[in-house]
Amino acid sequence: MAVYTDVSAAEMADFIARYDIGTLTSFHGIAEGVENSNFLVQTTGGTFILTLYEKRVARGDLPFFIGLMQHLAARGLSCPQPVERRDGTVLGELGGRPAAMVTFLPGVSVRRPTAHHCAELGAGLARLHLAGADFTMERANTLSVAGWRPLFDVARDGADTVAPGLADTIAQELAALEGDWPKGLPSGIIHADLFPDNAFFLDEALSGIIDFYFACTDAFAYDVAICLNAWCFEADGSYNVTKGRALLSSYGALRPLSAVEVAALPRLARGAALRFLLTRLVDWLNVPAGALVKPKDPLEYLKKLRFHQQVAGAEDYGLIP
Ligand SMILES: Nc1ncnc2c1ncn2[C@@H]1O[C@H](COP(=O)(O)OP(=O)(O)O)[C@@H](O)[C@H]1O
Ligand SMILES: N[C@@H](CCOP(=O)(O)O)C(=O)O
Protein backbone atom coordinates (compact mmCIF):
# COMPACT_ATOMS: atom_id res chain seq x y z
CA MET A 1 0.00 0.00 0.00
CA ALA A 2 1.43 3.36 -0.88
CA VAL A 3 0.74 5.52 2.09
CA TYR A 4 3.80 7.39 3.26
CA THR A 5 1.96 10.09 5.15
CA ASP A 6 -0.71 9.24 7.70
CA VAL A 7 -3.82 11.36 7.86
CA SER A 8 -6.24 11.32 10.78
CA ALA A 9 -10.02 11.45 10.34
CA ALA A 10 -10.10 14.90 11.92
CA GLU A 11 -7.42 16.24 9.55
CA MET A 12 -9.22 14.73 6.58
CA ALA A 13 -12.60 16.21 7.58
CA ASP A 14 -10.95 19.57 8.07
CA PHE A 15 -9.30 19.38 4.66
CA ILE A 16 -12.55 18.42 2.94
CA ALA A 17 -14.41 21.29 4.55
CA ARG A 18 -12.50 23.60 2.18
CA TYR A 19 -14.26 21.97 -0.80
CA ASP A 20 -17.84 22.14 -1.94
CA ILE A 21 -18.20 18.33 -2.03
CA GLY A 22 -20.30 17.61 1.06
CA THR A 23 -19.03 16.09 4.28
CA LEU A 24 -16.68 13.17 4.81
CA THR A 25 -18.35 9.77 5.13
CA SER A 26 -15.28 7.50 4.84
CA PHE A 27 -11.73 7.29 3.54
CA HIS A 28 -8.94 4.76 3.28
CA GLY A 29 -5.40 4.49 1.93
CA ILE A 30 -5.20 2.91 -1.53
CA ALA A 31 -3.36 -0.40 -1.88
CA GLU A 32 -1.74 0.31 -5.25
CA GLY A 33 0.95 2.71 -6.40
CA VAL A 34 4.44 3.37 -5.10
CA GLU A 35 5.09 7.06 -5.63
CA ASN A 36 2.52 9.14 -3.75
CA SER A 37 0.09 8.64 -0.87
CA ASN A 38 -3.40 8.12 -2.27
CA PHE A 39 -6.70 7.96 -0.42
CA LEU A 40 -10.11 6.95 -1.65
CA VAL A 41 -12.41 9.56 -0.14
CA GLN A 42 -16.17 9.29 0.11
CA THR A 43 -18.29 12.29 0.93
CA THR A 44 -21.98 13.03 0.83
CA GLY A 45 -21.16 14.59 -2.57
CA GLY A 46 -19.45 11.60 -4.22
CA THR A 47 -16.21 9.63 -4.50
CA PHE A 48 -12.82 11.28 -4.96
CA ILE A 49 -9.11 10.52 -4.92
CA LEU A 50 -6.92 12.56 -2.63
CA THR A 51 -3.21 12.54 -3.47
CA LEU A 52 -0.45 13.69 -1.14
CA TYR A 53 2.61 14.33 -3.30
CA GLU A 54 5.74 12.60 -2.04
CA LYS A 55 9.46 12.39 -2.78
CA ARG A 56 9.67 12.46 -6.59
CA VAL A 57 7.11 15.18 -7.15
CA ALA A 58 8.49 18.71 -6.96
CA ARG A 59 6.01 21.25 -5.61
CA GLY A 60 6.89 23.63 -8.43
CA ASP A 61 5.78 21.05 -11.03
CA LEU A 62 2.25 20.69 -9.65
CA PRO A 63 0.73 23.49 -11.76
CA PHE A 64 2.06 21.66 -14.85
CA PHE A 65 0.42 18.35 -13.85
CA ILE A 66 -2.85 19.99 -12.85
CA GLY A 67 -2.93 22.14 -15.99
CA LEU A 68 -2.14 19.12 -18.17
CA MET A 69 -5.02 17.03 -16.77
CA GLN A 70 -7.39 19.95 -17.37
CA HIS A 71 -6.05 20.46 -20.90
CA LEU A 72 -6.29 16.79 -21.89
CA ALA A 73 -9.83 16.49 -20.53
CA ALA A 74 -10.83 19.57 -22.53
CA ARG A 75 -9.50 17.74 -25.63
CA GLY A 76 -11.71 14.73 -24.85
CA LEU A 77 -9.22 12.45 -23.09
CA SER A 78 -10.64 10.66 -20.08
CA CYS A 79 -8.41 11.47 -17.10
CA PRO A 80 -8.89 12.62 -13.50
CA GLN A 81 -9.92 16.24 -13.02
CA PRO A 82 -8.63 18.41 -10.19
CA VAL A 83 -11.45 19.52 -7.90
CA GLU A 84 -11.55 23.22 -7.04
CA ARG A 85 -11.76 24.35 -3.44
CA ARG A 86 -14.22 27.01 -2.34
CA ASP A 87 -11.53 29.65 -2.89
CA GLY A 88 -10.99 28.55 -6.52
CA THR A 89 -7.58 26.94 -5.94
CA VAL A 90 -6.86 23.24 -6.41
CA LEU A 91 -3.69 22.76 -4.40
CA GLY A 92 -3.70 22.45 -0.63
CA GLU A 93 -1.54 20.99 2.07
CA LEU A 94 -2.20 17.99 4.30
CA GLY A 95 0.15 16.14 6.65
CA GLY A 96 2.89 18.53 5.62
CA ARG A 97 2.63 17.46 1.96
CA PRO A 98 1.16 19.29 -1.04
CA ALA A 99 -2.22 17.71 -1.71
CA ALA A 100 -4.93 17.76 -4.36
CA MET A 101 -8.32 16.13 -4.78
CA VAL A 102 -9.19 14.69 -8.19
CA THR A 103 -12.29 13.07 -9.60
CA PHE A 104 -12.65 9.30 -9.33
CA LEU A 105 -12.36 7.56 -12.69
CA PRO A 106 -14.44 4.39 -13.17
CA GLY A 107 -12.80 1.35 -14.76
CA VAL A 108 -10.39 -1.44 -13.89
CA SER A 109 -6.74 -1.89 -14.69
CA VAL A 110 -5.61 -5.20 -16.17
CA ARG A 111 -2.87 -7.27 -14.56
CA ARG A 112 -2.15 -9.36 -17.64
CA PRO A 113 -2.81 -7.29 -20.73
CA THR A 114 -3.81 -9.16 -23.89
CA ALA A 115 -2.91 -8.07 -27.43
CA HIS A 116 -6.33 -6.44 -27.54
CA HIS A 117 -5.51 -4.31 -24.46
CA CYS A 118 -2.16 -3.40 -26.03
CA ALA A 119 -3.92 -2.23 -29.17
CA GLU A 120 -6.32 -0.12 -27.11
CA LEU A 121 -3.40 1.31 -25.20
CA GLY A 122 -1.42 2.14 -28.35
CA ALA A 123 -4.33 4.15 -29.71
CA GLY A 124 -4.83 5.86 -26.34
CA LEU A 125 -1.17 6.81 -26.17
CA ALA A 126 -1.31 8.34 -29.65
CA ARG A 127 -4.46 10.27 -28.71
CA LEU A 128 -2.68 11.57 -25.62
CA HIS A 129 0.31 12.73 -27.69
CA LEU A 130 -1.96 14.46 -30.19
CA ALA A 131 -4.14 16.05 -27.50
CA GLY A 132 -1.08 17.49 -25.77
CA ALA A 133 0.12 19.24 -28.93
CA ASP A 134 -1.28 22.66 -28.02
CA PHE A 135 -0.56 22.50 -24.29
CA THR A 136 1.63 25.53 -23.68
CA MET A 137 3.44 24.56 -20.48
CA GLU A 138 6.67 22.55 -20.59
CA ARG A 139 8.45 20.33 -18.11
CA ALA A 140 11.86 18.76 -18.72
CA ASN A 141 12.07 15.00 -18.16
CA THR A 142 14.06 14.72 -14.94
CA LEU A 143 14.16 10.94 -15.37
CA SER A 144 15.73 10.91 -18.84
CA VAL A 145 19.36 10.02 -19.52
CA ALA A 146 20.86 12.91 -17.48
CA GLY A 147 18.84 11.81 -14.44
CA TRP A 148 20.02 8.19 -14.41
CA ARG A 149 23.57 8.61 -13.09
CA PRO A 150 22.41 10.39 -9.91
CA LEU A 151 20.05 7.46 -9.30
CA PHE A 152 22.88 5.01 -9.89
CA ASP A 153 25.10 6.93 -7.46
CA VAL A 154 22.47 6.40 -4.76
CA ALA A 155 22.00 2.69 -5.55
CA ARG A 156 25.50 1.57 -6.64
CA ASP A 157 26.69 0.31 -3.26
CA GLY A 158 23.61 -1.81 -2.63
CA ALA A 159 23.11 -3.06 -6.21
CA ASP A 160 25.06 -6.31 -5.86
CA THR A 161 23.01 -7.27 -2.81
CA VAL A 162 20.02 -7.43 -5.16
CA ALA A 163 21.82 -9.43 -7.89
CA PRO A 164 25.53 -10.29 -8.18
CA GLY A 165 27.22 -8.15 -10.83
CA LEU A 166 24.29 -5.73 -11.10
CA ALA A 167 26.40 -2.64 -10.39
CA ASP A 168 28.76 -3.47 -13.28
CA THR A 169 25.91 -4.25 -15.65
CA ILE A 170 24.27 -0.91 -14.91
CA ALA A 171 27.56 1.00 -15.12
CA GLN A 172 28.21 -0.38 -18.62
CA GLU A 173 24.70 0.20 -19.85
CA LEU A 174 24.62 3.71 -18.45
CA ALA A 175 27.90 4.62 -20.16
CA ALA A 176 26.67 3.18 -23.46
CA LEU A 177 23.40 5.13 -23.36
CA GLU A 178 24.95 8.37 -22.13
CA GLY A 179 27.35 8.19 -25.08
CA ASP A 180 24.68 7.67 -27.70
CA TRP A 181 21.21 8.78 -26.56
CA PRO A 182 18.89 9.75 -29.46
CA LYS A 183 18.44 13.50 -29.83
CA GLY A 184 16.17 15.75 -31.87
CA LEU A 185 13.27 13.29 -32.14
CA PRO A 186 9.70 14.59 -32.50
CA SER A 187 8.73 15.72 -29.00
CA GLY A 188 5.83 17.00 -26.96
CA ILE A 189 3.80 16.00 -23.95
CA ILE A 190 4.43 12.41 -22.88
CA HIS A 191 2.92 10.47 -19.97
CA ALA A 192 6.21 8.72 -19.14
CA ASP A 193 4.66 6.13 -16.77
CA LEU A 194 1.76 4.63 -18.71
CA PHE A 195 1.91 1.19 -17.10
CA PRO A 196 -1.07 -1.18 -16.95
CA ASP A 197 -1.93 0.08 -13.45
CA ASN A 198 -2.35 3.57 -14.85
CA ALA A 199 -4.82 2.63 -17.60
CA PHE A 200 -8.45 1.77 -16.94
CA PHE A 201 -10.73 -0.39 -19.07
CA LEU A 202 -14.48 -0.78 -19.26
CA ASP A 203 -15.94 -3.56 -21.44
CA GLU A 204 -12.45 -4.21 -22.84
CA ALA A 205 -12.13 -0.64 -24.15
CA LEU A 206 -9.62 1.83 -22.75
CA SER A 207 -11.74 4.08 -20.55
CA GLY A 208 -9.23 6.36 -18.86
CA ILE A 209 -5.65 7.20 -18.02
CA ILE A 210 -4.41 8.25 -14.57
CA ASP A 211 -1.21 9.24 -12.77
CA PHE A 212 0.26 12.12 -14.75
CA TYR A 213 2.94 12.87 -12.17
CA PHE A 214 5.87 11.87 -14.40
CA ALA A 215 4.40 13.63 -17.46
CA CYS A 216 6.89 15.90 -19.18
CA THR A 217 8.11 17.22 -22.50
CA ASP A 218 10.17 14.57 -24.26
CA ALA A 219 10.33 12.35 -27.35
CA PHE A 220 7.01 10.70 -28.25
CA ALA A 221 8.88 7.54 -29.26
CA TYR A 222 10.37 7.32 -25.76
CA ASP A 223 6.81 7.10 -24.40
CA VAL A 224 6.13 4.33 -26.93
CA ALA A 225 9.29 2.55 -25.74
CA ILE A 226 8.14 2.83 -22.10
CA CYS A 227 4.82 1.24 -23.05
CA LEU A 228 6.48 -1.60 -24.99
CA ASN A 229 8.41 -2.36 -21.79
CA ALA A 230 5.40 -2.13 -19.53
CA TRP A 231 2.75 -3.87 -21.66
CA CYS A 232 4.40 -6.35 -24.01
CA PHE A 233 6.50 -8.67 -21.84
CA GLU A 234 5.26 -11.88 -20.29
CA ALA A 235 5.71 -12.80 -16.62
CA ASP A 236 8.67 -15.04 -17.54
CA GLY A 237 10.52 -12.06 -19.03
CA SER A 238 9.95 -12.96 -22.70
CA TYR A 239 8.86 -10.30 -25.18
CA ASN A 240 5.49 -10.94 -26.83
CA VAL A 241 5.85 -9.69 -30.37
CA THR A 242 2.11 -10.06 -31.04
CA LYS A 243 1.38 -7.61 -28.25
CA GLY A 244 4.14 -5.31 -29.50
CA ARG A 245 2.72 -5.38 -33.03
CA ALA A 246 -0.77 -4.61 -31.70
CA LEU A 247 0.47 -1.65 -29.67
CA LEU A 248 2.68 -0.24 -32.42
CA SER A 249 0.20 -0.63 -35.24
CA SER A 250 -2.68 1.01 -33.38
CA TYR A 251 -0.37 3.83 -32.26
CA GLY A 252 0.93 4.26 -35.82
CA ALA A 253 -2.59 4.36 -37.26
CA LEU A 254 -3.17 7.63 -35.39
CA ARG A 255 0.37 8.99 -35.21
CA PRO A 256 2.74 7.26 -37.65
CA LEU A 257 6.30 6.93 -36.39
CA SER A 258 8.87 8.66 -38.63
CA ALA A 259 11.96 6.87 -39.94
CA VAL A 260 14.17 8.47 -37.27
CA GLU A 261 11.80 7.39 -34.52
CA VAL A 262 11.75 3.83 -35.85
CA ALA A 263 15.56 3.75 -35.99
CA ALA A 264 15.79 5.07 -32.42
CA LEU A 265 13.25 2.65 -30.92
CA PRO A 266 15.67 -0.10 -29.75
CA ARG A 267 17.90 2.40 -27.97
CA LEU A 268 14.90 4.19 -26.44
CA ALA A 269 13.58 0.85 -25.20
CA ARG A 270 16.95 0.09 -23.57
CA GLY A 271 16.89 3.50 -21.92
CA ALA A 272 13.34 3.02 -20.69
CA ALA A 273 14.29 -0.37 -19.18
CA LEU A 274 17.30 1.17 -17.46
CA ARG A 275 15.19 4.07 -16.11
CA PHE A 276 12.72 1.73 -14.40
CA LEU A 277 15.48 -0.63 -13.26
CA LEU A 278 17.16 2.32 -11.55
CA THR A 279 14.12 3.88 -9.87
CA ARG A 280 12.96 0.45 -8.68
CA LEU A 281 16.45 -0.33 -7.39
CA VAL A 282 16.63 2.94 -5.46
CA ASP A 283 13.17 2.29 -3.99
CA TRP A 284 13.99 -1.35 -3.20
CA LEU A 285 17.06 -0.30 -1.23
CA ASN A 286 15.38 2.64 0.53
CA VAL A 287 11.93 1.77 1.84
CA PRO A 288 11.10 4.55 4.33
CA ALA A 289 10.50 3.30 7.88
CA GLY A 290 6.78 3.05 8.61
CA ALA A 291 5.70 3.42 4.97
CA LEU A 292 2.98 1.10 3.76
CA VAL A 293 4.36 0.24 0.34
CA LYS A 294 5.32 -2.85 -1.64
CA PRO A 295 8.38 -1.89 -3.70
CA LYS A 296 8.42 -3.20 -7.27
CA ASP A 297 10.95 -5.78 -8.44
CA PRO A 298 13.98 -4.13 -10.09
CA LEU A 299 15.11 -7.41 -11.66
CA GLU A 300 12.04 -7.54 -13.87
CA TYR A 301 13.64 -4.62 -15.69
CA LEU A 302 17.07 -6.24 -15.80
CA LYS A 303 15.50 -9.09 -17.81
CA LYS A 304 13.83 -6.60 -20.13
CA LEU A 305 17.07 -4.71 -20.56
CA ARG A 306 18.84 -7.93 -21.60
CA PHE A 307 16.20 -8.48 -24.26
CA HIS A 308 16.66 -4.97 -25.67
CA GLN A 309 20.44 -5.33 -25.70
CA GLN A 310 20.20 -8.09 -28.32
CA VAL A 311 17.49 -6.52 -30.49
CA ALA A 312 18.63 -5.91 -34.08
CA GLY A 313 16.00 -3.35 -35.11
CA ALA A 314 12.48 -2.04 -34.56
CA GLU A 315 11.01 -5.02 -36.46
CA ASP A 316 11.99 -7.18 -33.46
CA TYR A 317 9.36 -5.25 -31.50
CA GLY A 318 6.70 -6.13 -34.06
CA LEU A 319 6.88 -3.00 -36.16
CA ILE A 320 5.65 -3.72 -39.66
CA PRO A 321 7.73 -1.70 -42.17
N1 LIG B 1 -8.64 9.27 -10.43
C2 LIG B 1 -8.64 8.01 -10.01
N3 LIG B 1 -9.76 7.28 -10.14
C4 LIG B 1 -9.81 6.01 -9.68
N5 LIG B 1 -8.78 5.38 -9.08
C6 LIG B 1 -7.64 6.06 -8.93
C7 LIG B 1 -7.49 7.39 -9.39
N8 LIG B 1 -6.25 7.82 -9.10
C9 LIG B 1 -5.64 6.79 -8.48
N10 LIG B 1 -6.46 5.73 -8.38
C11 LIG B 1 -6.16 4.45 -7.75
O12 LIG B 1 -5.04 4.63 -6.92
C13 LIG B 1 -3.96 3.80 -7.34
C14 LIG B 1 -2.65 4.52 -7.14
O15 LIG B 1 -2.65 5.69 -7.93
P16 LIG B 1 -1.35 6.16 -8.70
O17 LIG B 1 -1.65 7.50 -9.26
O18 LIG B 1 -0.91 5.11 -9.65
O19 LIG B 1 -0.32 6.25 -7.52
P20 LIG B 1 1.14 6.80 -7.51
O21 LIG B 1 1.03 8.29 -7.55
O22 LIG B 1 1.69 6.26 -6.26
O23 LIG B 1 1.81 6.27 -8.76
C24 LIG B 1 -4.26 3.44 -8.75
O25 LIG B 1 -3.70 2.22 -9.15
C26 LIG B 1 -5.79 3.38 -8.74
O27 LIG B 1 -6.22 2.14 -8.23
N1 LIG C 1 5.46 2.45 -12.93
C2 LIG C 1 6.59 2.45 -12.06
C3 LIG C 1 6.28 2.79 -10.66
C4 LIG C 1 5.55 4.08 -10.40
O5 LIG C 1 4.23 4.00 -10.78
P6 LIG C 1 2.91 3.61 -9.92
O7 LIG C 1 1.82 4.12 -10.76
O8 LIG C 1 2.88 2.11 -9.79
O9 LIG C 1 3.01 4.25 -8.58
C10 LIG C 1 7.27 1.07 -12.06
O11 LIG C 1 6.57 0.10 -12.38
O12 LIG C 1 8.44 0.97 -11.69
ipTM: 0.93
Count of beta carbons in the 10 Å neighbourhood of residue 87: 9
Indicate which ligand has the atom closest to the C-alpha of 51.
Answer: 1
Does the reported pTM lie above 0.90? yes
Both 206 and 302 in one domain: the answer is yes
Both 78 and 32 in one domain: the answer is yes
Structural domain boundaries enclosing 220: 115-317
pLDDT at 1 over 50: no
d(CA 264, CA 35): 29
Indicate which ligand has the atom closest to the C-alpha of 211.
Answer: 1
The model's confidence at residue 6, banded by pLDDT at 50, 70 and 90, is confident
Domain boundary among 63, 79, 103: 103
d(CA 247, CA 250): 6
Ligand 2 pocket, residue 198 CB under 6 Å: yes
Domain boundary among 103, 135, 150: 103
Torsion sign across C-alpha atoms 13, 37, 193, 119: negative
Both 150 and 247 in one domain: the answer is yes
Both 60 and 206 in one domain: the answer is no
Both 79 and 128 in one domain: the answer is no
Count how many Cα atoms sit within 13 Å of the Cα of residue 47 in the half-sphere of its side chain: 5
Which three-class secondary structure string do you get for 144-208? CHHHHHHHHHHHHHHHHHHCCCHHHHHHHHHHHHHHCCCCCCCEEEECCCCCHHHEEEECCEEEE
Best residue among 3, 38, 53 to mutate for probing ligand 1, ranked by most atoms within 8 Å of CB = 38
CATH number of the domain that 94 lies in? 3.30.200.20
CB within 8 Å of 15: residues ≥ 6 apart: 7, 50, 92, 94, 99
- What's the mean per-residue pLDDT of the chain? 95
d(CA 271, CA 144): 8
Best residue among 1, 34, 279, 283 to mutate for probing ligand 2, ranked by most atoms within 8 Å of CB = 34
